[in-house]
Amino acid sequence: MSGSYELMALISDAGTVLRWTQAAERLWGYSAAEATGRPADRLLTTGGESLAGPLTASGSWSGPVALRQRDGGRQIVDLRVTPFSAGETDQDWLAWEAAPVEAGPRSGLDTAMLKTLFGHAPTGVAFWGLDLRCTWYNEALTGMDFMPGGPRVGSRLPDLLPPGRGHRMEDTMRRILDGGPPCVDLVWMHPPTGGDPELSLSFFRLDDGDGRALGVCLTVEDIRESWSRQRLGLLVEAGTRIGTTLDVMRTAQELADTAVAALADFVTVDLADFVMLEQEPLERLSSTQAGIPAFYRGGMASIHPGVPEALWQRGMPVLVAPSSPYTDVRDSGESHVEPVIDTSAPGTWRDHDPDRERIFRQFGMHSLMIVPLRARGKVLGIVSFLRSRNPAPFSSVDVFLAEELAARTALSLDNARRYSRERIAALALQRDLLPHVLHSGDAVDVASRYLPADKHGGVGGDWFDAIPMSRNRVALMVGDVVGHGIGAASTMGRLRMVLNTLTNLDLPPEEVLARLDELVVGLARDRPEEELTSPSVGATCVYVVYDPATRRCTMASAGHPPPAVVTPDGQVELVRLPPGTPIGVGLGDYRSVEMELAEGSLIALYTDGLVETRDADIDHGLDRLCTALAVPATTLEDLCTQVIDITLAGRQSEDDVALLLARTLPLAP
């Protein structure tokens, strides 16, 4: 059949006629008043042709169908059925087109049908033909103050919108006509000063039954109320997502993830070198032709998977031109905003930054904000926000949101920076105060481990030591100062030195702990300004003396977890010592327990970080410790590693861990 197709009718999903064209009147003989609302199956005969396709098509369908005409006649036509849906309604329709007809060439979706569908819709709707000129619009669009002079049939978007904005949207429609994906929820605010976003724009293509483009549909929705809720929601989300840890890199990434795509299409967070404490100072890095190293990349995110826009990855130094808005924001602490980036204009800062210029062009970046990360009088870095897919330029509201997000993030970054700086200093102090080499004499072999707490807990005051005594004896001790940070580390150093002095006095373990308790209480009384005066300051300790001549081991505890003893045949026993009070309480009630050890026995001393967690009882940790000690190991060093791995079970300890293992030796001749 060689005729041209023309629209006949629009059929509802219930199977009734919604729209009846003049061409249908000529072909069937029914007027629009007679056909509208009529069941569609009564318009077709059952003379051998199936009615399933025309009435129940879920995809495009075409084929010969016999029509039941008003005068009782019957005519075979080539009917084409196209599923059709529009706007945000829940209805689906079937568009019937037929050939041959008496009318002229196919006209697609005529304006009468569009008026029927969208004339009273609350959402603004307009259609643009293949030449990207307006063919129809509804009344809702005229009341939205979207186009300064109002929409006009036959006009292009650049004729109706402010300079620059219409051309970008027309480019979007052209890409959609060429097979590109629809663009939905594009934010619009009125130029030139911006303000709150008012409208949401969506573009999608309309095709005929053969998949050929008929044009582009534009829908416009008022979002002023929803945008206010969205803005509040973004700030609430930022409060829960940003600053969840005391890690500057993670905090920077949390900001980038929060801002994409709620505020921007591409976000980078670049930090000053004094924030990245473990990185090389930027002034020591060499400049290149691309620029000078000014920041370290802390975080980045994009609407595109893999962040292809990024010139530098996280942790890398970021290069900028000596004179650029990036360094200006860093030095001045004031935001820089370019609502419209004109990549064709010469004489801009991008002339000296060709790499960024190339990225801007490649991804169509058209609007830029650079906001400082400022907290407590310091600029900790900058945040760059860019838009590419979203055609709306950044407005004053966007700047406010960006600065609010940056301010909240900067406080979290500064807290993390201060904490990291103190933690590094405390860790260095603690490692310096702990023994570098253990001297155990001829009585025992020793091995030790020290693991600082994770970044949330901070460095504590755990310590261990082995001190040779007279007559080949050895003193073994492990202790734990309450608290974390530099204060706990320095307190640990003082207690360890006192214990060294008391050990040289050749006192029994219970008296050593009693004198240590007296000394701590005396220091608190005589020097109230010291940290030891704090009610929370104290320490637990276990003190052991082993005599190889008698194989007697004497132990005393000041509120510390029990020592473990492993016999040569692998039996593990936790020695339940009398529960003495922690050091610094002032009661001084300590008692010793004495036991005989066979040659080759193992003594294990440790701090509670090895066996305690917030989620489980300490007995579970003690069971894991005994299991680990019972597994044979080639050397004491291997056994230390084994105990740590099994007892911690792969978790990061919430507190410092100190472990001291001592294996008894036979008495030398």
Q: Which residues contact 70 (CB under 8 A, 6 or more apart)?
A: 28, 29, 30, 34
Nearest 10 degrees: Cα torsion 362, 364, 370, 373 = -70
* C-alpha span between 141 and 315 (Å, rounded): 49
Q: Which CATH superfamily is domain 434-606 in?
A: PPM-type phosphatase domain (3.60.40.10)
Same fold, 1-108 and 434-606: no
Q: Can you give the three-state secondary structure of 263-303, one letter per residue?
A: CECEEEEEECCCCCCCCCCHHHCCCECCEEEEEEEEEEEEC
Q: What is the average per-residue pLDDT within 142-147?
A: 78
Identity of residue 466? A
pLDDT-based confidence at residue 14 (cuts at 50, 70, 90):
confident
Q: Is 600 left (phi over 0), alpha (psi -120 to 50) or beta?
A: left
pLDDT in tens, 425-449: 666 666 666 666 787 788 899 999 9
Question: Please, what is the angle between helix 396-433 and helix 248-259, to 10°?
Answer: 160
Nearest alpha-carbon partner for 369 in 232, 242, 267, 253:
267
- Cα distances (angstroms) measured from residue 526 to each of 280, 501, 523, 529, 536: 44, 20, 5, 9, 18
The most confident of 450-454, 519-523, 569-573, by mean pLDDT: 569-573
Q: 619: which 2 tokens?
A: 């007995």
Q: 413: which 2 tokens?
A: 């970054």
Identity of residue 280? E
pLDDT in tens, 39-69: 988 888 754 445 667 777 766 777 777 788 8
Local structure of 235: helix, strand or coil: helix
The most confident of 149-163, 225-239, 264-278, by mean pLDDT: 264-278
The architecture in CATH of the region 119-222 reads 2-Layer Sandwich (3.30)
Q: What is the average per-residue pLDDT within 268-291?
A: 86
Nearest alpha-carbon partner for 207 in 59, 355, 55:
59
- Spell 517-536 as b/e; 16+ CB within 10 A means b: bebbbebbeeeeeebbeeee
**Which has the higher per-residue pLDDT, 587 or 623?**
623
pLDDT in tens, 149-177: 778 877 888 888 877 778 888 998 999 99
Contact status, residue 214 vs residue 261, Cβ threshold 8 Å? no
**pLDDT for position 525:** 65
pLDDT-based confidence at residue 459 (cuts at 50, 70, 90):
low
Annotation: CATH topology of 1-108: Beta-Lactamase (3.30.450)
User: For the whole prediction, is pTM greater than 0.75?
Assistant: no
* C-alpha span between 399 and 650 (Å, rounded): 45
Over 80: is that where the pLDDT of 579 sits? yes
Beta bridge partners of 64: 78
What is the enclosing helix (H) or strand (E) of 78?
strand 74-84
What is the enclosing helix (H) or strand (E) of 618?
helix 618-630
Over 90: is that where the pLDDT of 319 sits? yes
Beta bridge partners of 369: 337, 385
**pLDDT for position 471:** 87
Enumerate the domain spans of the chain.
1-108, 119-222, 232-416, 434-606
Contact status, residue 15 vs residue 5, Cβ threshold 8 Å? no
Identity of residue 416? A
The most confident of 37-51, 183-197, 522-536, by mean pLDDT: 37-51
Q: Which residues contact 625 (CB under 8 A, 6 or more apart)?
A: 564, 604, 606, 610, 611, 643, 647
Beta-carbon count within 10 A of 170 CB: 18
Q: Could you tell me what percent of the chain has a pLDDT over 90?
A: 35
Annotation: CATH topology of 232-416: Beta-Lactamase (3.30.450)
